[in-house]
Amino acid sequence: MSGSTPMDALLPLTVVVPLLGAAGVSALNPLFGNRRRLLDAVAILTAATVAGMLIIIMVGTAGGQQVYWFAGFTPSHGVALGIDFAVDQLNAGLAVLAALLVTAAMVFSWRYFERVSTYYHALMLAFLAGMVGFCLTGDVFNLFVWFELMGVAAYALTAYRIGERGPIQGALNFAITNSVGAYLTLSGIALIYGRTGALNMAQIGQAIAGHRPDGLVVVAFALILLGLLTKASIVPFHFWLADAHAVAPTPVCVLFSGVMVELGLYGVARVYWSMFGVGLGHRTSITAALSAFGILTAIVGALFCFRQRHLKRLLAFSTINHAGLFLIGVALLTPLGLTGAAVYVVGHALVKAALFLCVGIVLHRLGSINETLLHGQGKQLRITGVVFALAALGLADLPPFALYLGAGWIGQSGDTRGMPWITVVIITTSILVGAAVSRVAGGVFYGIGDPPSEDPRMGEEASEETSETDEAKSRVPLSMIVPPAVLVALAVVVGLLPHLGPTVQAGAIRLQDQGAYNATVLAGTHTAHPRAIMAVEDAGVTVTDTVTGAGTAAGSLVLALVSLYWRRLPLLRRGFEPGTGLVGPIRRFQSGVVNDYVTWMVIGLACFGGALALAIR
Amino acid sequence: MSVFPFVVVAWILTVGLYGIITSRHLVHQIVCLIVVQSSTYVLLLGVGYKTGAVAPYFYDIPGNTPAVDPVVQALALTDVVVEAAVTALLVAFAVQAHKRFGTLDPEELRQLQG
């Protein structure tokens, strides 16, 4: 791009501002002293400023890609010399989502923590910079660096309550598994650099497009994807996620579930569509290999979610379920599949963030996050109960929350590609997850049904949690209830936006057009109408989607009632109570031992690499 | 360019992963993670190596002298910086684990399960 537009100034600022904010609050720490509110205000303002800048950028990309070359190193004769930010609607939208959630989390933290260290603010802002940089970059090594910045900030935030046992174990598991994934990704980047001599994604894509994919390209693709899939908590790389969510401070969980996991999947889509897509030839077998992992993830996540009694772990497994569904959407390789995944991600982020914040309020007020102990205890938290119940229904795909559109479009696109069972997977797993969360809503906030039987281990876990928050207050502070309420309302607003489908689909088509991406990045020529690789389907709001979504939500409610009243039902009386069956095998599987997790990663890499090798043969 | 550096890479990677999986001591496990990362240094430098080429400083040599690829060296350097941050953080976690659990055996850390 030639000349300097206001956009050129804004793009680098989206990462410079949070990094400066992080450095600033650390450096000026002595000046802040005990004026903690000043510190909170600086962090909120910084995050909100970044969100504002990104919204301006997102609106500005409506007409196409914006490319910014750092230090003015523009490509020379089609060869990329510098590092670029290449922004389109979808990655700008994801970055906006990250900045909004950080803002909401920081507002929530205002009253949530009794005392808070400066490094909390610094780490949150560094985390934000990592996420925004990861979204916007157009250089694959740069992608790895942002990935690691995001990772290191996240590991440190997980261990925020460093004086306790759970956070240390959770952070160790998180850090070691994700580091192994990141180093394998780096190996893949090194291999593809060895083949193409380039680090710019567009240039790598151009270099491998003209040849039949050989072993080296397939190995590089598998290795690069491994780190991203680990971040995206795809089975069998998912074990760290539940441990990290169980122990991280609640406002941090909002970011982990809301965007960090989804960024891993964005990475998969970006790497595929900007680098490998044309070279690998958009084969049906790639869809088969990736969506198999997605389906497995969705099922495992939903089953583990349903049997959980620890609220943060329950929500964490629900995130794993959704990550699987998003991966299916990406794996379909169709514009509508990616559109569905994008809308699903946004709806899920808003709803899941609200759920986590409500759990934070429960922890703040009632001193526990164990469903067993909390049964009927949340009745006086009226507004929190309403917000939580609404968010639970949204998570179960109830229209008009945005999630039902995403689920419907992914299913519809699966039908067109001859995979009608994708709809079945989406509906059944969504019912399980929706039932688990609705069960919590009914049991904890309204005292419906019978209390679950005691589990001694849970008391021990729950007692650790209380030190995270301020002492119980007489009423919920406004700064804690407003963010989740606004997020739930936003999920409805997004679901009701006119022209949502066609607008997002236009962004998806642009992201998927590698030729247009190459032309914009390497030659600066703008393509007004990107070409869709697969057939474009109609991304409208159909009656089928609405009925399916409402049916899924109704099914969730029925299953939730069954699991609350199971003791009084004739056939189920002798059956397993949710959370009591198969305790031994499940504890051995989700063992908390990082050695086991890395073993699963190696097995997963072997399966994944094998599946890709067969697919691309 | 010979295949030898890549055999070394595969060997270091395998040994590191084997170490992480079988380790019974957190510090040993963290060192094994560094070993896994070391494989990426060798890989990067191996990718950019050219037989008979000089170091890429063009201060006092003619501009057309064959030199090894400086880009991978910059990448390896960045990689080292990343590793320093991750390792420091992990070792700090290990110190805390020893304080709170009284052990450094990852299989004895039993706070989170199921």
Q: What's the pLDDT tens digit per position in A307-317?
A: 888 999 999 99
CA of B50: which chain A residue's CA is closest? A194
Q: Do A586 and B21 lie within an 8 Å CB cutoff?
A: no
pLDDT of residue A414: 94
Average pLDDT over residues A56-75: 88
CB atoms within 10 A of CB A35: 10
Alpha carbon of B64: minimum distance to chain A alpha carbons (Å): 19
A461 — pLDDT class (breaks 50, 70, 90):
low
Average pLDDT over residues B43-53: 89
Q: Do A190 and B22 lie within an 8 Å CB cutoff?
A: no
CA of B77: which chain A residue's CA is closest? A145
Whether chain A has a CB inside 8 Å of the CB on B15: the answer is no
Q: How many domains are there within chain B?
A: 1
Site from B40, B71, B93 to mutate, A interface, most A CB atoms within 10 angstroms: B93
Q: What's the pLDDT tens digit per position in A594-603?
A: 999 999 999 9
Alpha carbon of B59: minimum distance to chain A alpha carbons (Å): 21
Give the Cα separation of A79 and A100 in Å (integer).
Answer: 36
State phi, psi for B54 to the nearest 5 degrees. Answer: -100, 175
Is residue B77 situated within a structural domain? yes
Taking 3-state DSSP, the helix, strand and coil percentages for chain B, each rounded to the nearest 5, stand at 70, 0, 30
Percent of chain B with pLDDT over 70: 98
SS3 of B80, please?
helix
Give the Cα separation of A224 and A279 in Å (integer).
Answer: 15
Distance set, CA B107 to CA A32, A161, B5, B16 (Å): 42, 21, 35, 18
pLDDT of residue A2: 42
Average pLDDT over residues A340-363: 95
Percent of chain A with pLDDT over 90: 66
Mean pLDDT of chain A: 89
Q: Of A58-67, A137-146, A156-165, which gets the smallest average pLDDT?
A: A58-67
Alpha carbon of A189: minimum distance to chain B alpha carbons (Å): 9
Select the more confidently predicted residue: A470 or A435: A435
A248 — pLDDT class (breaks 50, 70, 90):
very high
Q: What's the pLDDT tens digit per position in A525-576?
A: 888 888 888 888 888 888 989 999 999 999 999 999 988 888 787 766 666 6
Average pLDDT over residues B43-70: 86
Percent of chain A with pLDDT over 70: 94
Q: What's the pLDDT tens digit per position in A564-610?
A: 888 787 766 666 666 666 777 777 788 889 999 999 999 999 999 99
Q: What's the pLDDT tens digit per position in A478-530?
A: 889 999 999 999 999 999 998 999 999 999 999 999 999 999 999 888 888 88
Q: Is the pLDDT of residue A379 over 90?
A: no
Taking 3-state DSSP, the helix, strand and coil percentages for chain A, each rounded to the nearest 5, stand at 75, 0, 20
pLDDT of residue A455: 62
What is the model's pTM?
0.94
pLDDT of residue A4: 55
Q: Is the pLDDT of residue A52 over 80?
A: yes
Q: Do A176 and B85 lie within an 8 Å CB cutoff?
A: no
A1 — pLDDT class (breaks 50, 70, 90):
very low
Q: Is the pLDDT of residue A231 over 70?
A: yes
Residue A215: which of A560, A489, A583, A614 has the closest Cα?
A614
Average pLDDT over residues A224-243: 94
pLDDT of residue A409: 95
B55 — pLDDT class (breaks 50, 70, 90):
confident
Which 8-state DSSP code applies to residue A69?
A: E
Q: What CATH number does the domain containing B104 carry?
A: 1.10.287.3510
Q: Is the pLDDT of residue A246 over 60?
A: yes
A3 — pLDDT class (breaks 50, 70, 90):
very low
pLDDT of residue B60: 83
Whether chain A has a CB inside 8 Å of the CB on B37: the answer is yes
Residue A426: which of A411, A409, A405 has the closest Cα?
A411
Average pLDDT over residues A88-101: 94
CA of A182: which chain B residue's CA is closest? B37
pLDDT of residue A473: 54
Q: Is the pLDDT of residue B25 over 50?
A: yes
CA atoms within 13 A on the CB side of A34: 2
Q: Do A169 and B112 lie within an 8 Å CB cutoff?
A: yes
Q: Is the pLDDT of residue A72 over 50?
A: yes
Q: Is the pLDDT of residue A475 over 80?
A: no
Average pLDDT over residues A186-214: 92
Average pLDDT over residues A270-292: 90
pLDDT of residue A250: 92
Average pLDDT over residues A12-33: 88
Select the more confidently predicted residue: A398 or A36: A398
Query: B52-62 as b/e, with b when 16 or more CB fall inside 10 Å?
Result: eeeeeeeeeee
Whether chain A has a CB inside 8 Å of the CB on B89: the answer is yes
Select the more confidently predicted residue: A284 or B7: B7
Q: A257 with A356: CB under 8 angstroms?
A: yes
